[in-house]
Amino acid sequence: MDVQEAVAESTPAEAAQDKKDGLRRFTMGPNDSLEGKLTYDGHVHVDGRAEGELRVSGNIEVASGAKVKAFLEASNVTIKGDVEGTLNARDKLVLGKNAKMSGDVTVRRLQIEDGASLNGHVRMGDFEHQGSGG
């Protein structure tokens, strides 16, 4: 299956500056859907449905009720909905208590709350050569 490129350099209505770190924010609502590849310099909040590939320089948040079937790559990933696919968190992955994740994940840090469901392989990077405890 082929996917269309979704170029989201600027989404005027949705790209609001994040007050905390100055990064832009791409926000999807519960009735939105995205199919394709998204490369975004900023944070992405996913609600509704997303399918394809999300590569994000900031964080990805998957809202409760959202359904995502995608390759995800971001710094921090917070999942409260359903995700199927491969996930790569450069920093931390958090699975909230209603999260459902199936797929292989590579993370630096991992937090799973009680009630979350995970099926897949977990690889934690660079914990072997981390100097400053944690």
Partner 1 sequence: MSTRAPGARVPGKTADQPPPETPTTGRRGGITLGPRDRLIGELHIDGDVRLGGTVQGEIHATGDVEVDDEAKVNASLAGGDINIRGSVSGPVIARKRLVVARSGSLIGDVRVARLVIQDGATFSGNVSMGPQPDAFTPAPEPAPAGAAPEPVAAAQAPDMAAEPQPTRTDGKAKGKPKR
Smallest separation, CB 92 to partner 1 (Å): 7
Residues binding partner 1 (CB under 8 A): 1-2, 4, 92, 94, 109-124, 127, 134
The minimum distance between CB 25 and partner 1, in angstroms, equals: 24
Cβ-based nearer residue to partner 1, 7 or 124: 124
Characterise 97 by phi-psi region: left (phi > 0), alpha (psi -120 to 50), beta (else).
alpha
CB 48 to partner 1: min, Å:
22
Do the Cβ atoms of 103 and 88 come closer than 8 Å? Answer: no
Distances from the Cα of 2 to the Cα of 8, 37, 53, 67, 100, angstroms: 18, 10, 12, 19, 26
Nearer to partner 1, 42 or 78 (CB): 78
Name which of 65 and 120 has its Cβ closer to partner 1: 120
Query: Beta 67-74 vs 87-89: how paired, if at all?
Result: parallel
